[in-house]
């Protein structure tokens, strides 16, 4: 039996152990103050509130208990090992709950956020979990706002999984301004490169060129201290230079093609001349580069062709329009089908960036067989009419006329619902003949 003084000493020892465990917990925290900046940060479309880190919201007492006892990082790591083992055994059901409890215990487990979101959006094969994966990465990005990692993962999720390129641009743009967990202040080059690709996917080609120019500038600055590394995380100036060149070249080619189709020869020459200048400048930096020399030769040849007045024949784009035609009323056709066209649903409205009109596309459908069919129809209709009249004279009866192109009996009366091809409409089907009594002139009084 413990005496009063001994019991007092035991309680003091328990209190000391509890305080020491709390101190060890704080010492083991992986730089929480470095991950969450003091003050309110507003970056892009994501609002970061330092008063709500998302650590204890919705978490159970079992998840909070290790935090209070001072060994949360150790337990979080063990739980993550267990969750990974569940995945490789094909037991997916417990994983979602476990990864949320893990990040409640330790909100700076970057691998848990990245891999957990990957499981939700990709591995569990359930489209309903894609949005959960996005929100999981958004929480992780806010809880680890000083590093690029989860912002990059969030951008890639939008870029690759749900094809929401404007949101991908926003996430990549934030990530490009963050540092690394190793202490470097500049994000790896692949973050900025993905940003440029996402801007291009969004439809802003000029903005993509500006970003590649910025990537090239940053890469040249980093080469002064890191050398000429071509690794994805290094300066990688070669990748920036190549993508900047190829994006400018393709833009000039497309502008030249549009100008030539619209018979604006001077503008087409100017666009190709820009590629000549671009190729000459690139060869100064990379002499004897085979592809650059071939591109330069092509651009010079196009300039010479246009100046000589040799325009390319106009070629219509084939959208592979697979359709059906249903006659719903006289002179009214219902055309239904699918066409392979550009998907502009994810392109942001660029009116605010100096464009006069938002992105739109026009399709003009033309029946390539219209004229031959009109000529064939007119010829066959005349043949049928002549044949019908000759038969009428020889037989002198009112037999019903039927069939596609053969008839017997009275004169032909076309279906009034068929629009004449000569008036610009499309003849929807075979010639349709109806019975009509032969015309008999009225008998005069003398004949009677």
Q: What is the share, in percent, of the chain residues with pLDDT greater than 90?
A: 34
pLDDT at 28 over 80: no
Residue 247 makes CB contacts below 8 A (sequence gap 6+) with 200, 205, 208, 209, 212
pLDDT at 238 over 60: yes
Cα–Cα dist 155/138, whole Å? 10
Residue 212 CA, chain-centre distance (Å), reads 19
pLDDT given at position 350: 45
CATH fold for the domain made of 21-187: 1.25.40
pLDDT given at position 123: 85
Query: Could you tell me where the DSSP H helices lie in 157-236?
Result: 165-175, 189-201, 205-226
Other residues' Cβ atoms within 10 Å of the Cβ of residue 311: 13
pLDDT at 352 over 70: no
In this prediction the pTM is 0.61
DSSP code of residue 401: P
DSSP H helix total and E strand total for the chain:
15, 4
- Which residue would you say has higher pLDDT here, 90 or 122? 122
Helix, strand, coil percentages in the chain from 3-state DSSP, rounded to 5: 55, 5, 40
Q: Which two tokens stand for residue 297?
A: 């030769």
pLDDT given at position 418: 39
pLDDT given at position 102: 85
- Which residue would you say has higher pLDDT here, 131 or 33? 131
Read off the pLDDT of each residue in 229-238 and give the average, rounded to a whole number: 81
Q: What is the share, in percent, of the chain residues with pLDDT greater than 70?
A: 64
- Which residue would you say has higher pLDDT here, 205 or 354? 205
* Residue 105 contacts residue 76 (beta carbons within 8 Å): yes
Q: Which two tokens stand for residue 277?
A: 């200048």
Read off the pLDDT of each residue in 122-137 and give the average, rounded to a whole number: 88
pLDDT given at position 101: 85
- Which residue would you say has higher pLDDT here, 241 or 35? 241
pLDDT given at position 412: 38
pLDDT at 31 over 50: no
Element (H, E) at 46: strand 46-48
- DSSP β-bridge partners for residue 334: 326
Please identify which residue in the block is written with the tokens 């990059």.
152
Residue 323: phi and psi, rounded to 5, are -140, 165
Domain with CATH 1.25.40.10 in the chain: 21-187
- Which residue would you say has higher pLDDT here, 233 or 354? 233
Read off the pLDDT of each residue in 318-344 and give the average, rounded to a whole number: 78
pLDDT given at position 188: 92
Read off the pLDDT of each residue in 197-222 and give the average, rounded to a whole number: 93
pLDDT at 411 over 60: no
pLDDT at 439 over 70: no
Read off the pLDDT of each residue in 27-48 and give the average, rounded to a whole number: 37
pLDDT at 410 over 50: no
pLDDT at 297 over 90: yes
Q: What is the mean pLDDT of the chain?
A: 74
Residue 434 CA, chain-centre distance (Å), reads 55
Residue 46: phi and psi, rounded to 5, are -105, 125
pLDDT (tens digit, 9 = 90+) per residue, 64-82?
555 555 566 677 777 877 7
Cα–Cα dist 367/424, whole Å? 11
pLDDT at 27 over 60: no
């Amino acid at each position: 039996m413990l005496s009063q003084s001994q019991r007092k000493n035991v309680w003091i020892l328990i209190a000391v152990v509890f305080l020491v465990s709390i101190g060890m917990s704080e010492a083991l925290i992986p730089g929480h103050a470095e991950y969450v900046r003091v003050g309110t940060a507003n970056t892009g479309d994501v609002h970061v509130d330092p008063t709500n880190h998302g650590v204890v919201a919705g978490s159970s007492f079992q998840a909070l208990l290790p935090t209070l006892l001072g060994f949360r990082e150790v337990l979080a790591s063990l739980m993550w090992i267990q969750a990974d083992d569940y995945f490789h055994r094909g037991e997916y059901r417990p994983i979602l709950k476990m990864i949320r409890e893990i990040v409640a215990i330790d909100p700076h487990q970057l691998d848990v956020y990245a891999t957990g979101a990957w499981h939700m959006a990709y591995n569990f094969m359930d489209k309903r979990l894609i949005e959960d994966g996005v929100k999981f990465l958004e929480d992780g990005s806010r809880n680890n706002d000083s590093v690029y990692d989860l912002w990059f993962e969030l951008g890639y999720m939008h870029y690759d999984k749900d094809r929401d390129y404007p949101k991908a641009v926003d996430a990549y743009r934030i990530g490009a301004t963050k540092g690394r967990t190793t202490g470097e202040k500049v994000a790896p080059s692949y973050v900025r490169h993905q940003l440029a690709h996402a801007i291009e996917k969004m439809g802003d080609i000029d903005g993509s060129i500006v970003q590649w120019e910025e990537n090239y500038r940053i890469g040249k600055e980093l080469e002064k201290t890191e050398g000429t590394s071509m690794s994805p995380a290094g300066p990688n100036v070669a990748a920036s230079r190549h993508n900047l060149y190829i994006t400018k070249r393709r833009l000039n080619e497309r502008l030249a093609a549009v100008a030539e189709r619209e018979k604006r020869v001077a503008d087409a020459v100017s666009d190709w001349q820009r590629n000549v200048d671009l190729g000459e400048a690139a060869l100064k930096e990379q002499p004897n580069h085979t592809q650059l020399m071939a591109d330069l030769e092509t651009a010079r040849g196009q300039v010479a062709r246009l100046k000589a007045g040799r325009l390319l024949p106009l070629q219509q784009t084939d959208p592979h329009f697979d359709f059906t035609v249903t006659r719903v009323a006289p002179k009214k056709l219902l055309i239904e089908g699918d066409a392979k066209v550009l998907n502009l649903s994810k392109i942001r409205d660029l009116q605010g960036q100096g464009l006069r009109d938002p992105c739109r596309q026009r399709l003009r459908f033309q029946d390539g067989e219209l004229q031959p069919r009109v000529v064939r129809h007119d010829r066959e209709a005349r043949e049928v009419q002549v044949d019908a009249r000759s038969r009428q004279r020889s037989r002198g009866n009112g037999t019903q006329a039927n069939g596609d192109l053969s008839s017997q009996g009275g004169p032909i009366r076309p279906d009034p619902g068929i629009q004449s091809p000569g008036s610009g409409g499309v003849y929807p089907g075979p010639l349709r003949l109806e019975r009509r009594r032969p015309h008999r002139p009225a008998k005069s009084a003398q004949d009677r």
